[in-house]
Amino acid sequence: MKLTIPEEEVMGHGHLACQGCGGALAMRYTLKTLGRNTVLSVPACCWSVIDGPFPHSAVNIPVFHTAFEAAASTASGIKAGFEIQGKDVNVVAWAGDGGTYDIGIQALSGAAERNDDIFYICYDNEAYMNTGVQRSGSTPLKAWTTTTPVAHPKDRPKKDLISIMAAHRIPYIATASVAYPEDLTAKLEKAKNIKGTRFLLIFSPCPPGWKADPKNTIKLARLAVETKVFNLLEIENGLDWRITKKIRKPKPVIEYLKLQGRFRHLTEDDVSLIQENVEKEWNILMNKVGE
Amino acid sequence: MRKVMIGNHALSYGAKISRAQVIPAYPITPQTEVVELLSEMCANGEMDAKFIKVESEHSAMTASIGASATGARVFTATSAQGLALMHEVLHWAVGARTPIVMGNINRAMAPPWTIWTEQTDSLAQRDTGWMQLYAQNSQEVLDSVIQAYKVAEAVQIPAMVILAAFVLSHTSEAVELPEQGKVDEFLPPYEPEYRIDPANPHAFGGLTGPDGYFELRYQIQKAIEDSLPKWDEVGREFGELFGRKYGLIETYKVEDAKNLIISSATLASTARTAVDALREKGEKVGLLRIRVFRPFPSAQIRSILSSVDRAVVVDRNISFGASGIFYQEVKAAVYNEKNPPPIFGVIAGIGGRDVTKKDIIDIYEDIMRMDEPKSDIIWKGVRL
Ligand SMILES: Cc1ncc(C[n+]2csc(CCOP(=O)(O)OP(=O)(O)O)c2C)c(N)n1
Ligand code: SF4
Ligand SMILES: [Mg+2]
């Protein structure tokens, strides 16, 4: 049998993530494909803790910690530094959704517009987890966080960051999920051979932040795809959209929502609203895909 | 080779002749000419360097930090609002021990919008750990960029070369361009002890508790203290090679001076002409120009102040709620001396208001008529 996921483990065991952390898995799979000739620019996020306190580091490749809003620009600088010294290294900005959708979007947009030769990978857990679960621009409609309490859950949908990135016309954009490692691996393999800004969004459940059972991380990540809450796709040059995981018989969103405490307060109307929203977004996406 | 250039281009040529390799920069008046010339020289191959056209000063500084951490020599430049936007990551550059050299054109902060000169923008960054050098002419700007790299890389602390908006940034002067070969000899390629290297992986800046952070800060302070003699050494060595000697401070007619005018940057050049005029009137007056502000040359200042009767510090900056900033620092440096002279603090030239030779002569004559400093601020030229 031909293995589609590289066997070698670059990331070590001694990291500090919680049980069932999707963000830790996302890194593990990513490094398997990108390999050891890789450098990470990590802004403030759970990963500034997960990697381990000084002098420890779990990833066995260089990690450069940077300011919350600066993952992309720091990566651009690292890449330029290597290039002028004639070194060919994968430089990866590795940020959470807060550092990507919100505070870091300016630096990300700048790097993408310049088409700097970096990977930008966002592990998306849909809130500010490091600081104790506050809403971000990625938090979904009606979800609970500490700043969108049950009395006033999030009243706006998750920001469509993928379209924003597509508008930059960068060579490669993909969404991925920790429940579909072959898909993630294939996308990283493809991205490795492309020059310019490559943006990946990896759906990464967070058990404490979602009030979910750690044993359900993969299940939730899979259900998000099966309910079309989170779609696996890739975009070339900002224009050529393609679904990489087709769902023949989508499941109702309730299957996904009911396993998470952050949605426990939902009324039936709320669930219908979320379901409608999923259909609406799917149709918008189908227009882009051209199906 | 001599070349007529504006102060801003002296910064650009300083970066070029120092063989800066990565230049992330964002334009702001009155700094734009610095980056325009650099981006042109990167584009036409005159410089073997990468110019990153970042979308903000914040990204200029973070890209500078990333590039420097790989072991590249990095230059950038900014002014006022841009420098303030960088504030968080100015600390980062120091904590990450990245010896970036940055030009800053001293411009007053908004609001109201203004573009004229004042030193409060850079002095407000005094506690970030960046070394700060205030130049008085274009030749010194160019020479100081080269020296700044030498000192910064030796102690692994970034340095700012600072010049006054328009008075210096846009004034044309003849500048001697040092020979590239001699500069290469003076400033060899940057070889850091640690750099980002996949062959030798490390985590840089990882979470550190009270167990380790304290020592890291102690080391930064030690490194900046170590730079004190280096600035003088490097300035002397530069003088031997290129015929222009520099130091932490510059003195003028202080040997027999009873009274001292203390200032910095282009204000000090004006003060020099005032000293000549006052000397003609028979005044025993001298000038102390503070060239390097961080590290603060306390010992040198103490030694000169030990033999004078009174001193006046002329500041083109203000720390609101306190006083002029050079004044505070000079006073603090001599406070524990046996018989420190009275020190008067004058604030002048705020927001680019012109300070003439006559103004400095007036300042001097006014303080000579006073018995003692009655308050921390003597305002010069404010219209009430
Ligand atoms: C300028 C700045 N503002 C705020 C913070 C505090 N802060 C650190 S991490 C974080 C949230 C990170 O959220 P996200 O990027 O989603 O990563 P996660 O923690 O969820 O992995 C915040 C608000 C900071 N470090 N810097
Ligand atoms: S809080 Fe969530 S994202 Fe952070 S380490 Fe724990 S599981 Fe991972
Ligand atoms: Mg998050």
pLDDT attached to residue A1? 59
Q: CB B67 to CB A106 under 8 A?
A: no
Pocket test for ligand 1, best of A45, A97, A159, A202 (most atoms within 8 A of CB): A45
> Which CATH number, 3.40.50.920, 3.30.70.120, 3.50.50.60, 3.40.50.10140, labels domain B249-379?
3.40.50.920
* Ligand 3 center from residue A129 Cα (angstroms): 5
pLDDT tens-digit profile of B15-67? Answer: 999 999 999 999 999 999 999 999 999 999 999 999 999 999 999 999 999 99
Q: Which range marks the domain in which residue A47 is found?
A: 22-289
Which CATH number belongs to the domain containing residue A64 in this structure? 3.40.50.970
Q: Chain B: nearest CA to A123, how far in angstroms?
A: 19
pLDDT of A291: 72
Contact map slice: B 186-245 vs A, CB within 8 A: 196-198, 201-209, 212
Q: Give residue-wise pLDDT tens across range B254-306.
A: 999 999 999 999 999 999 999 999 999 999 999 999 999 999 999 999 999 99
Using the beta-carbon criterion (under 8 Å), do A73 and B24 form an inter-chain contact? yes
- Closest residue by Cα to residue B178 from B358, B346, B2: B2
B248-B254-B260 Cα angle (round to 5): 90
CA B76 to chain centre: 14
Helix (H) or strand (E) holding A165: helix A161-166
pLDDT averaged over chain B? 98
For chain A, what is the domain count?
A: 1
| Dihedral angle sign, alpha carbons of residues A79, A80, A81, A87 | positive
pLDDT per residue, tens digit, chain A (291 aa), is 577 899 999 999 899 999 999 999 999 999 999 999 999 999 999 999 999 998 999 999 999 999 999 999 999 999 999 999 999 999 999 999 999 999 999 999 999 999 999 999 999 999 999 999 999 999 999 999 999 999 999 999 999 999 999 999 999 999 999 999 999 999 999 999 999 999 999 999 999 999 999 999 999 999 999 999 999 999 999 999 999 999 999 999 999 999 999 999 999 999 999 999 999 999 999 999 987
Verify whether ligand 1 is closer than 6 Å to residue A136 (CB atom): yes
- Spatial CA neighbour of B189 closest among B248, B136, B149, B246: B149
With beta carbons less than 8 A apart as the criterion, state whether A230 and A203 touch. Answer: yes
Tell me yes or no: is domain B2-242 CATH 3.40.50.970.
Answer: yes
Could you tell me if residue A128 is inside a domain? yes
Nearest atom of ligand 2 to the alpha carbon of A49? 5
Helix or strand holding residue A192 (H, E): helix A181-192
Q: Which pairs count as long-range contacts for B12-15, CB under 8 Å and 24+ apart, including other chains? A: B12/B37, B12/B38, B12/B41, B13/B37, B13/B142, B13/B175, B13/B177, B14/B103, B14/B141, B14/B142, B14/B143, B14/B144, B14/B145, B14/B146, B14/B161, B15/B75, B15/B101, B15/B103, B15/B145
Range list for CATH 3.40.50.970 in chain B: 2-242
**Percent share of chain B, pLDDT over 90:** 100
| Whole-number pLDDT of residue A111 | 98
Residue A1: inside a domain:
no
Structure confidence at residue A3 (pLDDT): 73
Within a domain: A119: yes
How do residues B118-165 score in pLDDT, each as one tens digit?
999 999 999 999 999 999 999 999 999 999 999 999 999 999 999 999
> What pLDDT was estimated at residue A224?
98
pLDDT computed for residue A4 by the predictor: 87
Q: Where are the beta strands (DSSP E) in A7-145?
A: 38-42, 63-65, 90-96, 119-124
Ligand nearest to the CA of A101: 1
* Domain assignment present for A156: yes
Q: Is the pLDDT of residue B309 over 90?
A: yes
Cα B146 to chain centroid distance, Å, stands at 13
Among partner residues B53, B68, B206, which is closest to A51 by beta-carbon distance?
Answer: B206
